[in-house]
């Protein structure tokens, strides 16, 4: 593997670039991004060696797609059109079903591996790239059987070399489960931030009174709307289902407080404390 092209030089794409450079010294990493300033910044930060265009894709051994999921639907078929038969392409999108369907009948479907590394921060852009971001993180692979074996081996070796744990899942199950553990938490964070901003018109009060609990809970509200709006659109059915369940639980909790049933409030929180053991077990 000599030439890697990263499409989308932001947090995830840039972090892949950092780790690939560290792991494979002989690689040359090229960047493609619609934002020319991002490319200039990525070169300046040493994330990529050179800028590239789609015309270069036939020389790539590996292509990493790290762009919003709506753009992936449009651009993935074009990338598959442009690559050689020996190139492996993987995406990192937070939805999988629509992306897999978009290339279901593409002649080079065998060159694509649908992936979702569950890693990231609330920041965006090339300067947000973090070395070691993927270490000990889970990477969900969908429809691995649709990818040519010799090509999936290349991608899986890269994932393991970067320290990721691999898990296999079908796209529909992925989108359903990720709605609960990722998409809902982002919506909750955005709406908590909205609620507090609307209530506390004097922002100084928010900053003075906010403790670590508020800060950690609202952290995801700093995430990019340009990235998350397409995710919610593509996973609309599952997101609505999780929101309905979440709202039902909030209403139930509110009613317990209204009814002064604080024994039940205690029991609700105590039973939910079990999540500590669950999360400890997957770390």
pLDDT of 208-259, one tens digit each? 666 677 778 888 999 999 999 999 999 999 999 999 999 999 999 999 999 9
**Do 119 and 188 sit in the same domain of this protein?**
no
Q: What is the average per-residue pLDDT within 180-206?
A: 85
Average pLDDT, the chain: 94
**Do 228 and 158 sit in the same domain of this protein?**
no
**Do 202 and 242 sit in the same domain of this protein?**
yes
pLDDT at 199 over 90: no
- How many domains does the structure of the chain reveal? 2
**Do 183 and 199 sit in the same domain of this protein?**
yes
Choosing from 138, 169, 200, the residue where a domain stops is 169
* Containing structural domain, residue 237: 173-282
Burial category of 283 from C-beta neighbours within 10 Å (exposed 0-12, middle 13-18, buried 19 and up): exposed
Choosing from 169, 200, 216, the residue where a domain stops is 169
Q: What is the DSSP string of the chain?
A: --EEEEES-SHHHHHHHHHHHHH-TT-EEEEE-S-HHHHHHHHHTTS-SEE--GGGGGG-SEEEE-S-HHHHHHHHHHHHHHS-TT-EEEE--S--HHHHHHTTT-TTGGGEEEEEE----S--SGGG--TTTTTT-EEEEE-GGGS-HHHHHHHHHHHHHTTPEEEE--HHHHHHHHIIIIIHHHHHHHHHHHHHHHH--SHHHHHHH--HHHHHHHGGGGS-HHHHHHHHHHTHHHHHHHHHHHHHHHHHHHHHHHTT-HHHHHHHHHHHTTHHHHHHHH-
**Calpha distance 130→15 (Å, rounded):** 5
pLDDT of res. 204 = 67
Q: What percent of the chain has pLDDT over 90?
A: 85
pLDDT at 117 over 60: yes
Q: What is the average per-residue pLDDT within 69-90?
A: 98
First to last CA, the chain: 31
Q: What percent of the chain has pLDDT over 70?
A: 94
Choosing from 149, 169, 189, the residue where a domain stops is 169
**Do 190 and 142 sit in the same domain of this protein?**
no
**Do 38 and 147 sit in the same domain of this protein?**
yes
pLDDT of res. 282 = 54
**Do 182 and 158 sit in the same domain of this protein?**
no
């Amino acid at each position: 593997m000599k030439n890697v092209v990263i499409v989308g030089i932001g947090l995830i794409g840039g972090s892949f670039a950092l780790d690939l450079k560290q792991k494979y010294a002989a690689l040359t990493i090229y960047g493609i991004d619609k934002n020319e300033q991002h490319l200039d910044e990525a070169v300046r930060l040493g994330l990529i060696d050179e800028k590239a265009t789609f015309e270069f894709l036939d020389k790539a051994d590996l292509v990493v797609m790290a762009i919003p999921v709506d753009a992936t639907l449009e651009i993935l078929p074009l990338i598959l059109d442009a690559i050689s038969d020996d190139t492996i392409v993987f995406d990192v999108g937070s939805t999988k079903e629509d992306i897999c369907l978009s290339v279901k009948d593409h002649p080079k479907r065998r060159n694509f591996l649908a992936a979702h590394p569950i890693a990231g921060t609330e920041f965006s852009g090339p300067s947000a790239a973090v070395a070691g971001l993927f270490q000990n993180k889970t990477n969900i692979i969908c429809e691995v059987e649709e990818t040519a074996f010799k090509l999936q081996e290349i991608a899986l070796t890269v994932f393991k070399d970067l320290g990721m744990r691999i898990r296999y899942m079908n796209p529909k199950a992925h989108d359903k489960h990720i709605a609960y553990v990722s998409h809902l938490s982002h919506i909750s964070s955005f709406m908590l931030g909205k609620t507090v901003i609307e209530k506390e018109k004097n922002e100084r009060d928010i900053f003075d009174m906010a403790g670590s609990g508020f800060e950690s809970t609202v952290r995801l509200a700093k995430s990019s709307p340009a990235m998350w709006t397409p995710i919610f659109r593509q996973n609309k059915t599952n997101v609505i289902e999780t929101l309905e369940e979440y709202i039902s639980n909030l209403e139930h909790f509110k009613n317990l407080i209204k009814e002064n049933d604080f024994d039940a409030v205690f029991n609700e929180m105590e039973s939910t404390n079990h999540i500590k053991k669950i999360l400890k077990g997957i770390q």
